Amino acid sequence: MLILVGCEESQIITSALREAGHEAYSCDLQPTRGNPEWHFRQDVMEVIPIRLWDLIILHPDCTAMAVSGNRWYGFGMPYHQKRLDQIEWTIALWNLAKKHGKKVALENPVSVIFKHLPNVFYLQPWEHGHGETKKTGFALHNLEPLKPTNVVEGREQRIWKMPPSKTRKRDRSATFYGVAKAIVEQWTQQSQ
């Protein structure tokens, strides 16, 4: 399959897809921590239209849209307009991806964007081999929700408890390998 993983600089999902034999590329404004030969360092809105993709997986910035940020971005709060702008951009991104992708998934934590997008489901890392919590939503186009692959004990809130650092935002947003593996095993096998 020809696959684009938008707004992913870590290449966790991209690498898992390539290991399974797919032609997968990441795209982000930041340089990748993975293989730069498989990375578009540019605006995802410019990359999506260059091909007809079999699968597009999107990870738009959640800072303004996550419900955990309501005290700064909620209605009447100082940065509410930034939330509205991010919602508008993300809806445009979703619509563009559906025009150029046969299958599309858009990921965010618990977020206000999901009331604007269809077919939303949530998963937890502990359903895919990681003993911690981080409720993550996906809006889907022509895809089925991921089924749990390896339910484990734990339920630690490690992501929420991360201390401040220069890489905290990046580290908190990284996809768990077990979730990436479930994406490879399930979404690349679903019929066209």
Give 31-74 pLDDT, tens digit per residue.
999 999 999 999 999 999 999 999 999 999 999 999 989 999 99
For 125-162, give one letter per residue: b (16+ CB within 10 A) or e: bbbbbbebbbebbbbbbbbeebeeeeeeeeeeeebeee
| Count, residues in the chain | 192
CB-facing half-sphere around the CA of 15: CA atoms within 13 A? 15
Give me the helices (H) in 5-110, please.
12-19, 44-47, 70-73, 80-100
- Tens-of-pLDDT digits for all 192 residues of the chain? 999 999 999 999 999 999 999 999 999 999 999 999 999 999 999 999 999 999 999 999 999 999 989 999 999 999 999 999 999 999 999 999 999 999 999 999 999 999 999 999 999 999 998 788 889 999 999 999 999 999 998 766 665 555 665 654 444 557 788 899 999 999 998 754
> Do 58 and 7 contact (CB within 8 A), yes or no?
yes
